[in-house]
Structure 1
Amino acid sequence: MRMMRSGAVWLLLAWPVVAWAEDAPETQPEEEERRARDNAWRSLLRLDATTLSLLPRAGVGSDEGFLQVEPTVVFERGEDFGLNLGAPVRLRLWGGGEGAGLVRREDWDSLSDFGQVVRALKLGSDDSPIAVWFGALEDYSLLAAHLVRRYSNRLNPDYHPAGGVLTGTLGPLYTEAFVSDVLGARLMGAEFSLDVQHVLFGPPRESARYTLSLSAVHDWGKAGGRAPSTTLAHLDAIAVVVVRPGFEAHLLAGWGGRPGERGAWGAVVGAGADAVSPTLRMMLRLELRRQHGGFRQGSFGPDYELARFKAAGPDGVPLADASFPDGYSVFSEADVGWDAVGYGGTHKHLKLSLGVEAFLWGRFDGDGRVAVQFVQRTIEVALKGLAVGMGQPGARYLGAAELRWRFLSGKLYAMGTGGTLLFPEADGTLRPGTFASVGLGVDNAR
């Protein structure tokens, strides 16, 4: 299932290729085949059964073991509708202490946790005037992405909300709004992007070549554990300076701050490029950033669901209260999807996403994930990692790996996962732990 478009300027990423394809006349059989494909219902049924072990690090807490059963049901029709339901149910095998129930309590102890049943619900497509999407937010960025970048709402192992994204187009105005938790008062924000060329000269041949956008994000801090609230805002100007079939490049500049806090501001300049071909989709970004008075770009980033309780670094306080040195940084990002047999769908021979930021005063942050398929897609290996505050006291590291092997014509697969976790506690500390699981799954994907 395809995620919603991530901003007016990024819409141009696929436009030249799509426009070229639409210019070619369709023969009647091809048109009939396309219409039949768009109107056809597609479904997927899947069931995973694994053993899951949660182990403390440094002697904290106690071991816990579970039998995890995870059903999944998917229905799709064309580009405008998709529904993906399912959630892991963890049945206790050992550990947990006195009074521990059969089902792991932390997975279902708040209203927000019931959002995990909806993995994804899509109503509308990238070409719809209005579209909505609900589900788990993974590597989510809000349009120009200078406030929310590479954010995940499931980094807290005991908090499983469903997020929501609303997009809409009205003449020269494109809007994207999101909430990280549709069932709780948590992170929410919106960005309004104005097509300047459209306003001055009427509808252009190529939309969103020159845009001005305003974004604001607020965290209420009342779901998924109490934490200080915070508000950030940002203004961006973006110009697409090169447009070629399958390739685009743009320049950007922006300024942001904390409303109501004098002296908390930041500025950014940068460039980006996007490339699309039948087998490749690639996005590259490079930015020079300035931070002042505690503000920084990308505050709602990959580490945020832990940093809202305790930020990486020597302070040991929530991110909203943590000091941040004035200075400069360089940020770079790459997102690559490659498929040897033709680009399309969510499963590719190679998927790579990497973001790194180097602060000139001695700190380094990075996160990334890579998935590779081998042997006619029967084996898939996925790795992901997060490192925040490297080069400074109190740095934070997380990592995980997953292996899947399909056999019996791909209907049955074996899987194994393992990695590290951080569990937020009521007093604001983060309890370290590890996890490991092995098991089997079956589906009708092939």
Structure 2
Amino acid sequence: MHRKRSGVAALLLLLFPMLGWASEAPSPEEAPSVPPPEPATREWHYWMRLEATTLALLPRAGVGDDEGFIQVEPTFILDGGPEFGFNLGAPIRFRMWGGNDGGALVRREDWDTLSDWGQLVRGLLLGSDDAPVGVWFGPLEEHKLLSGHLVRRYSNRTNPNYHPAGGIFTGTLGPLYTQAFASDVLGARLVGAEFSLDVEHIFFGQPEKGGRYTLALSSVHDWGRAGGHAPSMTLAHLDAMAIVVARSDLEAHLLAGWGGRPGAGGAWGAVVGGGVDYLTDRFNMRLRLEARRQHGGFRQGFFGADYELARFQAAGPDGVPLADAHFPDGYSAFGEAIVEWDAVSYGGPNKHLNVSVGAEVFSWGRADVDGRVAVQLFERSLEVALKGLAVGAGKPGARYLGAAEVRWRFLGGSLYAMGTGGTLLFPTTEGTLRPGAFASVGLGVDHVR
């Protein structure tokens, strides 16, 4: 369960966009009128949606001109079962006022690179956890590379002017399970892979339940050539994991690992910890707790929630990219909790409650926290989503971001009103981050078949 839940099946949730830092900031969508189909009689379903909002990007402290847009966002989703589905659509912003790019009708920063055209594909799923091979294309939100000690809670849409489509590949061959990913399938950016070897399978043959005792090797490299140029970086990590409790609804595991930065002497880190997964039809809970050691600038979770901004300018007083930033030697405690609850056992991505929080506290006084909570109320007619990020809290130069969205469905649920708002950081050509904000209100309509 622990290994496979990180694979393609969990990625089906991303067929529905989630609240992000960029100004479009969509929330989880609902399908209240469609009951879960029986697996044996699964039919094709499609969903069409159109949203129109007034949207403003508002720089702080008078830096640049305020910009206002009318945003039109069409979406088409086709669900062909557990092994196929796609989601197409993108926000198109027509200028109302402001800007300093010659008065272009459409916001130029949304489409000025090849990578930006990846936003048209919000989800393409081929295969599943039950298939030998699975492939996913679309946005990455809170992405974790298997063990999560290099890539954890990573989003490729934190930069509001960069809209890539990521890709994830999973494959099983005998005792070997592999996950590989690219943060941008149209540009030279973050790529990585983790190879997980089932030790029990090697010595005693294929077990009834695989993945109980594993050794895993992962490596991640950032080319730094798309979404703005930034220093390249390569990290590697070795992990061992043992599942000590394995039931149909409960799984507990222990882990230990060591990682480093190839080519950088003395840059290493170690980790020990454990986790619990409790999964039922209506309630899911995943808990992780780890003790970590960092030395020579290496740290676990290097490619995390803040990475798409930190690659230009890390949180802290130095004002340099994360690859060059000073990171003190020390210890830390990391915890993560993911809780999902649905009152009607719908089984899809739309839960009455969805909470995801990760936090790391360092021995030298720094704390990093990011989280998201989404609730559906009044028979799913009201949705509220909040997201927050704090990096370097307790130290000078700390970074804070926040976003919120509210959706209210009426007239039978097909029509809804929405409002969003939050803070942003825009990377500049000088390698700094320009603070800003966004706000929008509008209407949407969708149709489910």
TM > 0.5: yes
Aligned partners of 2:365, 2:212: CA distance in 1, in Å? 37
Identity %: 71
Identify if the C-alpha distance between structure 1 residues 236 and 108 changes in structure 2 by more than 3 Å, giving closer, same or farther.
same
CA deviations 1:273-293 (Å, max 9, x no partner) are: 000112111100000000000
Deviation at 1:33, TM superposition (A): 5.5
TM-score of the superposition, structure 2-length normalised? Answer: 0.92
Matching residue within 413, 433, 444 for 2:416: 413
Matching residue within 69, 90, 104 for 1:66: 69
SS in 1 for 2:118: helix
Aligned partners of 1:6, 1:141: CA distance in 2, in Å? 12
Matching residue within 127, 131, 149 for 1:128: 131
| Deviating 4+ runs (over 6 angstroms) | none
CA deviations 1:75-98 (Å, max 9, x no partner) are: 111111101000000000000136
SS in 1 for 2:413: coil
> Residues 139-218 of structure 1 correspond to what in structure 2 (within 5 A)?
139-218=142-221
Aligned-partner residue type, residue 241 of structure 1: V
Aligned-partner residue type, residue 312 of structure 2: F
Aligned partners of 1:126, 1:33: CA distance in 2, in Å? 18
Matching residue within 384, 387, 395 for 1:392: 395
Structure number with greater CO (CA < 8 Å, separation at least 6) is 2
SS in 1 for 2:388: strand
Aligned-partner residue type, residue 315 of structure 2: A
Matching residue within 331, 355, 360 for 2:358: 355
SS in 2 for 1:58: coil
Which residue of structure 1 lines up, in the alignment, with residue 292 of structure 2?
A: 289
Deviation at 1:34, TM superposition (A): 3.5
Matching residue within 34, 40, 43 for 1:35: 40
Identify if the C-alpha distance between structure 1 residues 439 and 270 changes in structure 2 by more than 3 Å, giving closer, same or farther.
same
Aligned partners of 1:198, 1:33: CA distance in 2, in Å? 33
Q: Which moved more, 1:244-253 or 1:64-73?
A: 244-253
Aligned partners of 1:222, 1:402: CA distance in 2, in Å? 32
Identify if the C-alpha distance between structure 1 residues 285 and 440 changes in structure 2 by more than 3 Å, giving closer, same or farther.
same
Deviation at 1:168, TM superposition (A): 0.2
SS in 1 for 2:290: strand
Which residue of structure 2 lines up, in the alignment, with residue 24 of structure 1?
A: none
Matching residue within 252, 259, 263 for 1:260: 263
CA contact (8 A) 2:45 2:448 kept: no
Matching residue within 330, 335, 338 for 1:332: 335
Aligned-partner residue type, residue 292 of structure 2: R
CA contact (8 A) 1:152 1:302 kept: yes
SS in 2 for 1:197: helix
SS in 2 for 1:115: helix
Which residue of structure 1 lines up, in the alignment, with residue 107 of structure 2?
A: 104
Aligned-partner residue type, residue 353 of structure 1: S
Which residue of structure 2 lines up, in the alignment, with residue 25 of structure 1?
A: none
Aligned partners of 1:435, 1:183: CA distance in 2, in Å? 27
Aligned-partner residue type, residue 299 of structure 1: F
Matched, 1:234 2:237: yes
Deviation at 1:7, TM superposition (A): 3.5
Aligned partners of 1:245, 1:176: CA distance in 2, in Å? 24
Aligned-partner residue type, residue 206 of structure 1: K
Matched, 1:278 2:281: yes
CA contact (8 A) 2:3 2:211 kept: no
Aligned-partner residue type, residue 215 of structure 2: L
Aligned partners of 2:46, 2:153: CA distance in 1, in Å? 29
Which residue of structure 2 lines up, in the alignment, with residue 23 of structure 1?
A: none
Identify if the C-alpha distance between structure 1 residues 343 and 250 changes in structure 2 by more than 3 Å, giving closer, same or farther.
farther
Unaligned runs of 5+ in 1: 15-31
CA contact (8 A) 1:388 1:395 kept: yes
CA contact (8 A) 1:381 1:403 kept: yes
Aligned partners of 1:64, 1:77: CA distance in 2, in Å? 40
CA contact (8 A) 2:2 2:277 kept: no
SS in 1 for 2:140: coil
Aligned partners of 1:272, 1:333: CA distance in 2, in Å? 9
Matching residue within 3, 8, 13 for 1:7: 3
CA contact (8 A) 2:132 2:173 kept: yes
Aligned partners of 2:443, 2:41: CA distance in 1, in Å? 35
